[in-house]
Amino acid sequence: MVIRIGTRGSPLAVWQANWVQERLTQAHPRLNISLIKIKTKGDKLIDVNLEKVGGKGLFVKEIEEELLGGQIDLAVHSMKDVPVQLPKGLHIRSIPRREDPGDVLISRDHLTLEELPLGAKIGTSSLRRKAQLLSYRPDFHIVPLRGNVDTRLRKLDSMGLDGIVLAAAGVKRMRLEGSISQSISPEVCLPAIGQGALGIETRIADEEVNQYLGILDHEATHMSVIAERAFLRRLEGGCQVPVAALGGVSDRGMLMLKGLVGTLDGRKLIKGGIEGEIEKAEELGMDLAESLLSQGADEVLREIYEREIARAL
C-alpha cells in the first residue's frame, strides 16, 4: 500500500514527518511511504505577525485541503498549530508521546531570564509568551520574531536581541540543545495548547490508514492534549489571545491540567488547575475554562476581542 504524508516544508516540519515515516516503516515494512511538501499561507507570510493575519490555521489549511481532496493520505502537524475545530470528515487519529512541552531561552552569553540586563530585548512571535514574560519581568522589551528555528537564531544577532524564546521541542528535535541558555519553568511561562506534541490527521472514513496509525498513539499525551484543546475551545482563544495550558497524567493515572488567561501587557494573569479521571479529559478542560472565566477571564477576553474589532474597522 502507498501512503502519502503531507507536511510543511520547513526543516522542523520535515523532521517531524520523517519521524512518523520511520516509525510506520519499522512497524509495517511493506508500506510504500512518501513525503509531499505543501506550502501554507503561514509559510508565505513570513514577515507578518500571525495575530494580524488569522492566527491558528495558517499552517494547516492548505494541507487539510490536500487531505480532503485525496492528494495525501495523512498529515503531520505540530498540535499547537491545529485549530480546535477541524474540517468535516477529518480527525486527529494519533498523537505520539510528547517531547518537552516547555519553552526555552536562547540568549547572548547564556544568561538566564533573571540575569538579563534591565530593558533586555526579547524576541518572540507569541502573545502568550509576551504576556507571561512581561508579568515576570515588566522591564523586558518584547520584539516580534518569526521564522523557523535557524532563522530565529540568526536574528538573535542580526536584530541585536538579548535573547529569544522558543518551544523546547523544536530546538531539541533540530539537535540544537547546546544553544539553550535556560529551560523556562511552566510556573514562569505556561506552554501553548498542544506544544511539544505531534498530531497525525487523517480522513475519518479511511479505515485502512487509520488502522496502521494506531501504533503511534500515546494515550497519556493524547488525553492531555484533548483536555488542553477543550480548555481553549471553551475560551474561543487563538493566536490573538494570551491563553496557555498544560496537561499531564500522574503516577496515579489522574489527568492534571493547568491553564492561564492573561492581558496583553502581562499585568493580569488568571491561573487555575484541575485534576480528574483521564477518561473525562474534555470535561476537565471545559471545567477549568469555566473556572477561569468566573475569576475574570471573561472580562480580559472581551477587552482583547473588542480591541481587535476596533482595530479592524
Catalytic residues, which ones? 81
Q: 138: how many CB neighbours lie within 10 A of its CB?
A: 10
What residue type is 73 in one-letter code? Answer: D
- Nearest-angstrom CA–CA distance, 46 and 185: 29
Question: What residues have CB less than 8 Å from 25, skipping those under 6 apart?
Answer: 31, 33
Residue 141 backbone phi and psi in degrees, to 5: -110, 110
Say if residues 197 and 51 touch (Cβ distance below 8 Å).
no
> What span, in angstroms and rounded, lies between the C-alpha atoms of 38 and 22?
20
Nearest to 199 by CA among 20, 10, 22: 20
Q: Are 210 and 202 contacting, i.e. CB atoms less than 8 angstroms apart?
A: yes
Cell readout for 300 is: 480580559
